[in-house]
Amino acid sequence: MIIVTGGSGFIGSAFVWKLNSEGIDDVLIVDELGRAEKWKNLVGRTFIDYIHKDEFIDILCNNKFRNVSAIIHMGACSSTTELDADYLMNNNYRYTMTLAKWAIERNVRFIYASSAATYGDGSLGFSDDESIVKKLRPLNIYGYSKHIFDVWAIRNRVIDKISGIKFFNVFGPNEYHKEDMVSIVYRAFHQIIKTGKVFLFKSQREEYNDGEQMRDFIYIKDCVDVIWWLLQNNNVNGIFNLGTGRARTWNDIIGATFSAMGYEAKIEYIDMPESLGDRYQYFTEAKMEKIHNKGCIFDFRSLEESVYDYIGNYLLKKNSFL
């Protein structure tokens, strides 16, 4: 049995889709559905059971699970604007630590989601070399709650027994429920439908023109291929970046969105909220050599190809699901 936490969320449900496409349905979904509509991500998926995340941790700690081959831990609060630090530390750090300990003690494959938010302002670069992890300074409590588990795993010398993934800017089907945390493609698509234009934050740094802030955007389908590879190669452990390795501008991704929709690009630049000013990343770009050197080499889709697939095969067809 494969346990997928956050199994109804964006990346988790996409990975369940990947498992099903590989003929695997011995899957346990762990999540907290609440009042969001992410339950729709489970429609059409095949799995053996769903358990609420709080009930799951109690059952797990009482050792009531048998024949578990892997835990794919994608469950977390992923809001970069969440301010409840206690909640994030319990939900993102301690929960992950409990799962990791359980898996390590039983030699169960454990793959967990870290984040590019751990890199902070990028002044130390974006290398996933574990020797620099302790030096990183995240800009928000979400990034810190992810970072502190990475530090724990290294300090306790278990990082060579588990795999962590530092996801960069992921977009694609199954993200619709993320509210303020949906990708720029999803947000732009709906802005264009409603207003015919897209709103982007002005730059507050002289070295970046408006809309020229850069991110490493990666498509969800490429992400689940890498997670699948890590699941198949259970001797590959450590912390790994997951991006395309090529930063692109906001203007690039918005231009691709307009093009995929058949519209002329119209962008309006607006002031950035003061609350984001000191927590805003102007540049991210995954260094991918580490996982490539382990043999994980994929020909990732280009930004334009990814946007065209997402919009043409999903959003324009009023279908938000894999």
Q: Which of 93, 95, 112, 142 is catalytic?
A: 142
To the query of whether residue 135 is one of the catalytic residues in this protein, the response is no
Nearest one of 126, 120, 220, 214 to 170, comparing CA atoms? 220
Q: Which of 40, 53, 101, 178 is catalytic?
A: 178
Instruction: Measure Cα distances from 15 to 4, 259, 301 in Å.
Output: 8, 29, 18
To the query of whether residue 178 is one of the catalytic residues in this protein, the response is yes
Residue environment code for 112-144, b if the CB has 16+ CB neighbours within 10 A, otherwise e: bbbbbbbbbebeeebebebeebeebebbbbbbb
Residues 236 and 293: beta-carbon distance below 8 Å = no
The upper half-sphere exposure of residue 220, i.e. CA atoms within 13 Å in the direction of its Cβ, equals 26
Phi-psi region of 67 (alpha: psi -120 to 50; beta: other; left: phi over 0): left
Tell me the catalytic residues.
142, 178
